[in-house]
Structure 1
Amino acid sequence: MEDLVILNGNDNVAIATKKLANGDTVTVNDKQLKLVSSISAGSKVALQAIAAGKDVIKLGQVIGRSTADIAAGQLVDESNLENAADAKPLPVDDDLSQYVSQQTFMGYRRKNGKVGIRNDLFIVATVGCITPLMDVMVQQFKAAHPDNGSFDDIVLLKHPYGCSQLGEDFEQTRQILCDAALHPNAGGVLLFGLGCENNQMSGMKETIEKMAGIDPERMKFLVAQDVKDEFATAQQMLEELNTAAANDHREPVPLSELKVGLQSVQPDALAPLTANRLLAHLANVINANGGSTVLTGLPELAAAQDDLVSRSADSSVAEKVNHVFDHIRDYYDEFDQELVKKPSDKELAEGITTAKEVALNAIQLAGSAPISDALLYGHKVTTPGLNLLEAPNNDLIDASAAAAADCQMVVVSTGVATPYASFVPSVKVATNSELAAKKQRWFDYDGGQALSESFDKAAKDFVDYIIKIASGEETSNEKAGLHGLAIFKIGVTE
C-alpha cells in the first residue's frame, strides 16, 4: 500500500493512507519526499513548497488558499489553509473513451421500453394512516406464495404523509408516489388508499396517466373505504398482478440502460482514497457507455456550484444547474439556514479543511463526465450522462429522490454503518476494511480494497460486482428485507 496517494495529476497535495511520522521519507511519483509534520490517515501533505496566498489543489480543483508559507512535506490543514470562494474552476479531463465497454447486464425490459433490474411487487400507500394494513396484505399473499410468486421481492412504500398537506408540499408528496409507482423495477404495483385523505386516488390516477399512462394489467388501485373487505379485494388484485408477471424474464441489456444514484453518507478521512474513487470509476464506465448517473445532496455540493456550472455540457444545462441551486437556496433562506455545508469538527480532525473541499469530495463520486442535465426534486432522468438532482443531503430522502428519478439502484460511499435503504437496491460501500468487517450485514462492498490491492484491479472488480447486482444478485438490504421511502417535506401541516 502506498503511503501517499495523488488523486489528480494537477494536485499539489497528496493524501496519506496511514499515520506517518515527522521525519519519515516516503516515495511519491518515484520521488523521495521528507515529511516535516506528523500526518494522520486521510490528511493532506504538500508535495512542493506552497507560498502564502497560493492555491491549494486537490482532486484537480482549488480547495482553498494558503494563509502561510507551506513547506514540501508539511501538513496542510486549518492552520495554513482557508476557503477561497473566489477561486476559478480548473479544466476537467472529460475524455471517457478508455471506459467504453461491451459489458451487459441481465435486466427486465418493460412494455414502455424502460429496463428494470428487479421484478418487484410494489405496494404504494397514498396516505400514512393505512400503512399497517399493508403488512397484513403481504402476509396473506406470502401465505399463498412463500417464494413471492412471480416477483423477486415485495416492497412496501410506507410514509407518514398524504393528508393534511397543503400546496406545493402536497403536490410534492403526490409526485414522488407517482414516480415510485412508475418505476421500472416494479413488475406489478398496487396503489392503496383510504378514501378521505387529501391525496385522493383520482388525483393519483390522473397524474400517472399524464406521466406515462396506466397499464391495467400491471397497476391496480384500491380504496379501502370503497370496498367491504379491503384484504380480500387486495388479494384478488395481487393475484391478478402475479399472473400478469408470470412470464417476465431477464435478458441481456447494454450498460446504456443503467441508471445509478451516487451518494456520499458521512465520509471518513479515507473516503476520497477508497469508496469515492470506486464510485467515480463506476460513474465513468456508466456514462462512457451511454448510461445515466445521478448526483444528489445539494448542501454538500453548494460550495462548488461554480465548478458544477463549468462542467455543464452547454449553456442551457448551466442555467439549469444554477436554477436547481437557486431553488433549494430559496428554501433554506426561508428558514434562515445556510445552504453551504462547512466541515464539521469530525471532518476537521480527519483532514477536511474547507467547505470547497467538502464539496469536491462529494463531486468526486460523479467521475469526470460533463453534466448533461439538472433536475428539480421529483423529476425523472431523461438525459444520458451525469445528472444533478435537487435533494437536501438527507440519507434516505436523497436515496428516495434518486430512486424516484428512475435510478434502478443507489450506490453509497459511507464512513459509518447505517442500515437504511430506499425502495431500490442500495449498495453500501465501506470506506475502510475495518468498518466493512464490523458490519457485514449492512455493507455490500469493502472499499478498502482500493488501497490493499492495485486500484485498477479494485475498480474493475467493483464494476463487475455492480453488474452482478444489476443482474439479480441481492444487496444486504434486500437479504434483510429492508426498504424505505422518505419524502422531502417543505410545508406546514394544517
Structure 2
Amino acid sequence: MTGSAVTDHDPAAAPLALQIDESDNVATMLADGQAGDAIFLAGGQIGLRSDVAKGHKLAIRPIAAGTNIIKYGFPIGLATADIAAGEHVHSHNLKSGLSATDSYEYHAASAAKPEPPLILPMFRGYQRADGRVGTRNEIWIIPSVGCVGNLAERIARKAEVRYAGKVDAVRAFKHPFGCSQLGEDLSRTSKILASLAQHPNAGGVLMLGLGCESNQLAQMLALIPEERRGSIRMMTAQAEADEMESALALVNELVQAASACQRTEVPLSTLVLGVKCGGSDGFSGLTANPLVGRMADRVGKAGGKAILTEIPEIFGAEQLLMNRATSEDIFRRTVNLVNDFKSYFTRHGEGLSENPSPGNIAGGITTLEEKSLGAVQKGGHVPLVDVKLYGEQADRPGLTLLEAPGNDAISSTALTAAGATIILFTTGRGTPLGFPAPTIKIASNSELAKRKKNWIDFDAGQVLANGFDQASDDLMAKICAVASGEETAAERNGEHDIAIWKSGVTL
C-alpha cells in the first residue's frame, strides 16, 4: 500500500486521499472533500472538481471513456464517460466489466520467499478427543426442523440457568427448515446441521427432532463419523410424554461430560479462522480486510487453517486466488466453483452485478470487481490448499475456499459448519449479528468503532494512523484473548444465530 503520507500529513491542511497501488488511476478519500479543495496525495496535490465523500473515489489522472479504472492495481470496471483528474468516480461514470463467461489460466504457484521465523502466540482452548481444539465449551441444541425451534430455545433457557458455571453456555440454533423440502435442498439442510453438530466448540450436542419431518434425525446422524458421536444425544419430541424433562435429562448427561474438559494452553496451529465481510465501505479494502489477511497469514504460517467464502464476492478477483492454488486440481475445482456460482445467478435470470448492495454503494464501493478485490484480501497470501462444498469441513492447513453465498448469516453459518472456531467479521457499516462461533466484529473506520461500541470489537481504522504492524499485533492479541474465553460484543448481546441456504422447492 502506498500512502505513507497519511502519517506525515498535517491534519489542519488539505483533506487526504490514498492511492493504494502505484498503477491506480483513482484514490480513496480519507475525509469528506468539497469542490475546489486541494486534495493531498503521496505524490502531491490535486484539485477536486466536485464534492467527494469520505470512502469514495476521485480520479487522479484523466481517464478516457471505455478504458479501465484501476484500483488495488487491477481493473474495477470501465469508465462510461471521459473523466477529468479531480472528478468523483462512482456509479454515474463507472460500470462493471464482469462477464459470465470469463476464462482462466493455471499458473503454478511460485515458491514462498524465505521469511524470518515468527514468534507465534498461544491461546487457552479446549482439547477434544480427536485432536481438534475448541475456543468454547458449550452445549448446543440443534433442531432438525423448524417445528421444534421454539422448544429448543425453551430447553436452552432452562438449562442455561440450571448449569450456569459448569459449561460456557447452552445455545439453541433455531431455523425454519427441515420439513417440506426435497432432493438436494433437503440434503443441504441435513448436511449443514450435521456439520454443526460436530463442531469442536460444542462439548455436547442435543439433536432435537419432531418425528414426522423430512429431515429425520437418523439421516443426519449417518453423516457424522462414529468417533464423533459420543458427545451427541438425540430426542424425538413426539415420542416423549414430557419432552421438556426428557430433553433436560439428556442435556444433564452432556453437561456432566463436557464440564470435565478444562482450558489448556495450545498453539496457534490449532486455530481455525473463518474470514467474512459484511456492510463494506470504501475503507474495507484499505484497512480491515488486508488486516484480516495478515491474521490469515499468521495462522497459516503457524500450520493452522483459514476459510474464505462468499463466492459471489470474489467475482472479478478470482484469478488472484487461482494463482495461489497448490495444484492444478485445486485450480480446476476453484474454476468449477466460480463458474457454477455464476450459472446459479444466470439460471435465475439475475445479472452478476446485483452486488454491491445499497449500503456498499453509499459507502463508496461502485462495482463488484472493486468489492471483490477488497474482499479477497481477507485471505491474505496463504496458499490455496482446498475447495469445499457447502456443508463440508475444512481439513487441510492453509486456505480453504468454501462454497456459500455472500449473505452474512448464511455464509457465517457455513464457516462455522466448516470448522471455524473464530470468525473475523469486517464491516464498514455495522451489524449486530453473531453466529455459533465467536465472531469478532472489526470496523473498517474509527468513526464506526466509536459510534457502535456495543457491536464492534476492534477498530481497524487505526491502520491509517499507526500502520499495519501495530494493528496486526493488537488484533492477534484480541483473537487470542477471545479464543481463550473473552466474550465478543455479539456474545454479550446474546447474538448467536444460524441461517441455512435454501435453493429448492418447498412442498
Alignment of structure 1 residues 155-304 onto 2, 5 Å: 155-209=171-225, 213-216=227-230, 218-304=231-317
The 3 A distance-change label for structure 1 pair 95 and 229 is: farther
Name the structure 1 match of 2:12: none
The 3 A distance-change label for structure 1 pair 220 and 58 is: same
Structure 2 unaligned regions, length at least 5: 1-5, 8-15
The 3 A distance-change label for structure 1 pair 21 and 108 is: same
Equivalent-residue separation in structure 1 for 2:434 and 2:119 (angstroms) = 29
Deviates more, 1:471-480 or 1:245-254: 245-254
How far residue 350 of structure 1 moved from its aligned partner, in angstroms, is 4.2
The answer as to 2:471 corresponding to 1:453 is: no
Contact 1:33 1:72 in 2 (8 A): no
Alignment of structure 1 residues 18-57 onto 2, 5 Å: 18-21=31-34, 24-25=37-38, 27-29=40-42, 31-38=43-50, 39-47=52-60, 55-57=68-70
Contact 2:38 2:48 in 1 (8 A): no
Equivalent-residue separation in structure 1 for 2:92 and 2:350 (angstroms) = 27
Equivalent-residue separation in structure 1 for 2:350 and 2:95 (angstroms) = 22
Give the secondary structure class of the aligned counterpart of 2:224: helix
Give the secondary structure class of the aligned counterpart of 1:271: coil
How far residue 25 of structure 1 moved from its aligned partner, in angstroms, is 4.8
C-alpha deviations, 1:20-58, integer Å up to 9, x for none? 3555555544x3233353443223344556566654432
What is the one-letter code of the residue matched to 2:204? G
Alignment of structure 1 residues 102-141 onto 2, 5 Å: 102-141=120-159
What is the one-letter code of the residue matched to 1:115? V
Name the structure 1 match of 2:163: 145
Contact 2:137 2:169 in 1 (8 A): yes
What is the one-letter code of the residue matched to 2:395? T
The correspondence for 2:381, drawn from 365, 368, 381, is 368
Equivalent-residue separation in structure 2 for 1:179 and 1:249 (angstroms) = 23
Contact 1:301 1:340 in 2 (8 A): no
Deviates more, 1:172-181 or 1:222-231: 222-231
The 3 A distance-change label for structure 1 pair 480 and 65 is: closer
Equivalent-residue separation in structure 1 for 2:316 and 2:412 (angstroms) = 21
Deviates more, 1:442-451 or 1:404-413: 442-451
How far residue 458 of structure 1 moved from its aligned partner, in angstroms, is 1.9
Structure 1 unaligned regions, length at least 5: none
The 3 A distance-change label for structure 1 pair 222 and 89 is: closer
Equivalent-residue separation in structure 2 for 1:58 and 1:455 (angstroms) = 19
How far residue 390 of structure 1 moved from its aligned partner, in angstroms, is 1.2
What is the one-letter code of the residue matched to 2:190? R
The 3 A distance-change label for structure 1 pair 191 and 167 is: same
Contact 1:399 1:422 in 2 (8 A): yes
Deviates more, 1:80-89 or 1:193-202: 80-89
Kindly, what percent of the aligned residue pairs are identical? 37
Equivalent-residue separation in structure 2 for 1:372 and 1:341 (angstroms) = 30
How far residue 349 of structure 1 moved from its aligned partner, in angstroms, is 5.2
- Relative to the length of structure 2, the TM-score reads 0.87
Deviates more, 1:435-444 or 1:87-96: 87-96
How many residue pairs get aligned? The number is: 488
Deviates more, 1:320-329 or 1:477-486: 320-329
C-alpha deviations, 1:185-216, integer Å up to 9, x for none? 1111111112221222221222213xx53443
Equivalent-residue separation in structure 2 for 1:273 and 1:412 (angstroms) = 15
Equivalent-residue separation in structure 2 for 1:88 and 1:230 (angstroms) = 56
C-alpha deviations, 1:75-126, integer Å up to 9, x for none? 4445654444489999999759468442122111110111111111111111
Give the secondary structure class of the aligned counterpart of 2:343: helix
The 3 A distance-change label for structure 1 pair 12 and 154 is: same
Contact 1:341 1:358 in 2 (8 A): no
Equivalent-residue separation in structure 2 for 1:61 and 1:9 (angstroms) = 11
The 3 A distance-change label for structure 1 pair 353 and 143 is: closer
Structure 1 segments of 4 or more deviating over 6 A? 86-94
C-alpha deviations, 1:322-378, integer Å up to 9, x for none? 221233333333322234444456545544333311221221222233422222111
What is the one-letter code of the residue matched to 1:190? L
Contact 2:36 2:49 in 1 (8 A): yes
The 3 A distance-change label for structure 1 pair 455 and 134 is: same
Contact 1:403 1:424 in 2 (8 A): yes
The 3 A distance-change label for structure 1 pair 288 and 16 is: farther
How far residue 152 of structure 1 moved from its aligned partner, in angstroms, is 0.8
Equivalent-residue separation in structure 1 for 2:215 and 2:376 (angstroms) = 36
What is the one-letter code of the residue matched to 1:312? A
